[in-house]
Amino acid sequence: MGQTDFAHAGKYLTFSLAEENYGLAILRVQELVGLLPVTRVPRLPAFVAGVVNLRGRVIPLVDLRLCFGMPASAMDDRTCVIIVRVEREQGRSAPMGVIVDAVSDVVYLAEDTIEPTPDFGTSVDTSFVKGVGRLEDRVVLLLDIDRVLSSGELDAIAHAAVQTDDQSAEGGL
């Protein structure tokens, strides 16, 4: 992995999934919200919880636990939705919600506290991990939110959200 593939120094929103720590560049985070009523969309992968209506805008919702192949978890009062901006092809971006077990805090990571993603061999895809941040008491996997889902998955989710939004405008939701 080349130097330009590293995560850069800056502020990261940290959160947990199954007792592990993850981070997203704070500039990609739009807001944090509690759980909202979810409308399930047929024929999407199991890790897509569905879509939510956030102040009149239909936004796709992804369960990161399921996306990463972790077992599902009962949602509780610490479960949170992080609304992120995902970059798609041709410079377009779209909001997407990701369900996490709990949000921890915002931390600043300096260049010397971020290491490249370890090489696990060609059979393990870690392209969505930008680097590994070292904090005093924990290690944080820094995610590239644009690569967590493949472009095909993002397109399918965006298409479903648009269709659901159109149905909602026609009184179908």
Cβ of 137: how many Cβ atoms within 10 Å?
5
d(CA 80, CA 23): 14
Mean residue pLDDT across the chain: 84
d(CA 21, CA 133): 10
Residue 17 · residue 70 · CB < 8 Å: yes
Predicted confidence at residue 32, as pLDDT, reads 97
Residue 101 · residue 16 · CB < 8 Å: yes
* Six-digit token string for 128: 């969505």
d(CA 111, CA 131): 11
Structural domain total, the chain: 1
Residue 19: CATH number of its domain: 2.40.50.180
pLDDT in tens, 108-159: 999 999 998 877 655 556 678 899 999 988 999 999 998 887 656 666 666 6
- Domain assignment of residue 128, given as a range: 3-169
pLDDT category at 3 given cuts 50, 70, 90 is very low
pLDDT category at 173 given cuts 50, 70, 90 is very low
Of 153 and 32, which is predicted with more confidence?
32
Cβ of 124: how many Cβ atoms within 10 Å?
9
Predicted confidence at residue 93, as pLDDT, reads 83
Main-chain dihedrals φ then ψ at residue 152, nearest 5 degrees: -65, -40
